[in-house]
Amino acid sequence: AKAAGRNTIKFFQDEMEKTVKYKLALENDLRQAIPKKQFELYYQPQVCVNSGNVLGAEALVRWIHPEKGLISPLDFIPSAEQSGLIHPLGALIFRTACEQLHSFPKIPRISVNISAKQFHAPNFVETIEQIIKDTNISPDRLELELTESAMLADIEETASKMNELKSMGFTFALDDFGTGYSSLTYLKQLPFDVLKIDRSFIANIMEDPEHAGIATAVISLGKALDLHVVGEGVETEDHLHFLKRQGAHSAQGYYISRPVPADQFIAWHTQRMTG
Ligand code: C2E
Ligand code: CA
Ligand code: CA
Ligand code: CA
């Protein structure tokens, strides 16, 4: 029994060692991938639930790894945050989005995800300002998506940073709304323009009346706060109709388009406009 116990411990030690090695290898790869610009932004449109007009698109990063192929942000953003690489990576993502925005003259705005750690960096505003200057993009064509975790820190600091960026013309979306910890008091104190309802609320509305009830309440809340309400994870016509009935403003999800590379996004948009 003792030997079996030792074997179990040995097994876990080996597994832990593998995990640590894997994490270090990933971080090391990521560090090199940034100067090599091994990333691509995919774009997913946001459309008006009533007119179907394209109001914007969200930029979603992918790592094009030379050996492993396409890697999901879920598999490297956490590591980028932990290692601090999110600062150069976030700047690269923002710069790429600004550069590509010149190829989307008919798209009103692009939303870029900003991780909490990135937002709270002391030089975040200067970095953004510099990129806007370098790429000659008007800030009113950019929306910054923050999650609730970004606001757990000092609310005064968060509000003043947001206001500084808003005075330049940027808008702000609160991402994944409903999944975090933010109280309504928080929400009222911060100058958000857009509320994005997390897709977990939309996913089961047809099967589960409680989910539908929650989704309805969250949409009403957003409207009561005078925010533009976006439903995420719209996968079916039913989802889209639900959002429309409840008075949400726009929709984003596979039913409309999956996230696609910039050239495909332009092709999709051109085709949509010409019918
Ligand atoms: P998110 O910001 O909530 O982005 C929405 C995610 O839902 C995307 O996953 C998108 O592909 C996926 N999605 C869109 N429509 C549907 C749908 O109808 N059904 C389902 N099941 N999924 C849908 P993705 O691209 O894998 O990104 C995952 C997360 O990684 C993002 O969640 C965001 O938190 C993070 N992320 C992505 N790009 C960036 C980035 O440039 N910077 C930072 N800091 N985080 C990013
Ligand atoms: Ca987002
Ligand atoms: Ca989201
Ligand atoms: Ca999410």
Q: How far apart are CA 110 and CA 106, in angstroms?
A: 11
pLDDT at residue 1, as a whole number: 62
* CA-closest candidate to residue 124, choices 148, 77, 157: 157
Q: How far apart are CA 122 and CA 161, in angstroms?
A: 10
pLDDT at residue 101, as a whole number: 98
How many angstroms does the Cα of residue 159 sit away from the middle of ligand 1?
A: 25
Q: DSSP for the chain?
A: -HHHHHHHHHHHHHHHHHHHHHHHHHHHHHHHHTTTT-EEEEEEEEEETTT--EEEEEEEEEEEETTTEEE-GGGTHHHHHHHSTHHHHHHHHHHHHHHHHTT-TT--EEEEE--HHHHHSTTHHHHHHHHHHHHT--GGGEEEEEEGGGGSS-HHHHHHHHHHHHHHT-EEEEEEETSS---HHHHHHS--SEEEEPHHHHHTTTT-HHHHHHHHHHHHHHHHTTPEEEE----SHHHHHHHHHHT--EE-STTT---EEHHHHHHHHHHHHH-
How many angstroms does the Cα of residue 60 sit away from the middle of ligand 1?
A: 6
pLDDT confidence of 179, banded at 50, 70, 90? confident
Total-model pTM:
0.94
How many angstroms does the Cα of residue 69 sit away from the middle of ligand 2?
A: 23
Show the 3-state SS of 35-101.
CCCCEEEEEEEEEECCCCCEEEEEEEEEEEECCCEEECHHHCHHHHHHHCCHHHHHHHHHHHHHHHH
pLDDT in tens, 180-222: 766 677 788 899 999 999 999 898 888 888 889 989 999 999 9
Average pLDDT on 228-244 reads 97
pLDDT at residue 207, as a whole number: 87
Instruction: Determine contact, residues 34/22, Cβ cutoff 8 Å.
Output: no
Name the residue with the closest Cα to ligand 1, atom 25: 60
pLDDT confidence of 88, banded at 50, 70, 90? very high
Report the range of poorest mean pLDDT among 8-12, 43-47, 224-228, 245-249: 8-12
The residue to mutate among 42, 47, 60, 119, having the most atoms of ligand 1 within 8 angstroms of its beta carbon, is: 60
Ligand 1 atom closest to Cα of 93? 41
The residue to mutate among 113, 176, 243, having the most atoms of ligand 1 within 8 angstroms of its beta carbon, is: 113
pLDDT surpassing 70 at residue 86: yes
How many angstroms does the Cα of residue 39 sit away from the middle of ligand 4?
A: 20
Instruction: Determine contact, residues 114/73, Cβ cutoff 8 Å.
Output: no
Q: How far apart are CA 38 and CA 65, in angstroms?
A: 7
Name the residue with the closest Cα to ligand 1, atom 11: 259
Name the residue with the closest Cα to ligand 1, atom 41: 61
Ligand 1 residue neighbourhood (C-beta within 6 Å): 44, 60-61, 72-74, 77, 93, 113, 115, 175-176, 199, 233-235, 253-254, 259
How many angstroms does the Cα of residue 208 sit away from the middle of ligand 1?
A: 24
Average pLDDT on 52-76 reads 96
* CA-closest candidate to residue 174, choices 225, 212, 107: 225
pLDDT at residue 167, as a whole number: 98
ipTM higher than threshold 0.90: yes
pLDDT confidence of 54, banded at 50, 70, 90? very high
Backbone angles phi, psi at 55, to 5 degrees: -95, -20
pLDDT surpassing 90 at residue 152: no
Average pLDDT on 46-51 reads 98
